[in-house]
Amino acid sequence: MSSELVIKVALADDHKIFRDGIKMALKGKEYLKILWEAEDGRDLMHKMQIKKPDILLMDIRMPEVDGVNAIGMLRKEYSDVKIIVLTMYDDQEMITKMMEMGANAYLTKTSDPEEIYQAILTCMNDDFYFNDLVNKAVLSKLQTKKQVRQFYPNPIKFSEKEIRILKLLAEDKTTEEISKEVFLSPRTIETIRQNMKSKVGARTIAGLIMYGMRLYGDRKSVV
């Protein structure tokens, strides 16, 4: 990352003591600048119109407009802002919901400050940050093989082979490990993976995996 780049970070949480803690934890971190903080969802939406951050650290439970409703509005108006959910909720259903709605990362408030910092840098470079919580939610969602039409108006369909490779990628399998499981050469796996990324317009493997997660949910089967 260029030393000249400054990542503008905004905070949205209704607890001032927590906002102060995050600012203290991130103080002095390379590349970061705290742009503003919001005390509730309405304040968040107002400040987004004034100064747009690169990264938004956002709680789910907030007065006026909660995080669930806010993320839907933010994704319509500010699709390029990276949203990191920072909350006390660690249940898989909520993680899946927020990631499907457009979050780039999901952390709990017990996360180490260094992990929050790494999540910010990773989201800027690779669009998404996957930790154990998100990995479990992604794998669970990919097992269902059902289409979520509300996120993608014209979803790309994957073949059975592509779906299997996508699941193995989500399990963090290497190219060699995947080739052994699906009985294809490593070069063929690389080609399929690259074709899948091109097909959905994903820059990274993380982006491809998130496309798959958002594609498969609780609607009728793709295949």
13 vs 196, higher pLDDT = 13
Flag whether the pTM goes above 0.75. Answer: no
Among candidate residues 62, 96, 130, the one where a domain is terminated:
130
**Structure-token pair, residue 211:** 């496309």
Query: What is the torsional sign of CA 151, 157, 158, 163?
Result: positive
Residue 144: predicted pLDDT: 60
CB neighbours (10 Å) of residue 26? Answer: 18
pLDDT digits (tens, 9 = 90+) for 116-172: 999 999 999 888 898 888 877 777 766 665 544 444 445 677 888 888 888 888 787
- Measured CA to CA, the distance from residue 90 to residue 88 in angstroms comes to 6
Q: Average pLDDT, stretch 43-65? A: 93
Residue 148: predicted pLDDT: 44
223 vs 53, higher pLDDT = 53
**Structure-token pair, residue 62:** 């907030």
Q: Does 82 lie in the same domain as 33?
A: yes
Q: Does 168 lie in the same domain as 73?
A: no
* Contact by Cβ (8 Å): 85, 60: yes
Residue 155: predicted pLDDT: 64
Q: Does 42 lie in the same domain as 18?
A: yes
In a domain, 159, yes or no: yes
* Contact by Cβ (8 Å): 120, 7: yes
CATH of the domain at 184: 1.10.10.10
pLDDT digits (tens, 9 = 90+) for 175-208: 899 999 888 898 898 888 888 888 777 777 777 8
CB neighbours (10 Å) of residue 32? Answer: 18
pLDDT for residue 6 is more than 80? yes
Average pLDDT of the residues of the chain: 83
First-residue to last-residue Cα distance in the chain: 41
User: How many domains is the chain partitioned into structurally?
Assistant: 2
Among candidate residues 104, 130, 156, the one where a domain is terminated:
130
In a domain, 138, yes or no: no
Q: Does 161 lie in the same domain as 58?
A: no
Q: Does 14 lie in the same domain as 70?
A: yes
CATH of the domain at 76: 3.40.50.2300
> Where in the sequence is the domain holding 42, given as residue range(s)?
7-130
4 vs 70, higher pLDDT = 70
Residue 11, C-beta contacts closer than 8 angstroms, at least 6 positions apart: 19, 22, 23, 34, 36, 37, 38, 56, 57, 58
In a domain, 173, yes or no: yes
Q: Does 167 lie in the same domain as 73?
A: no
Residue 154: predicted pLDDT: 59
**Structure-token pair, residue 219:** 């609607």
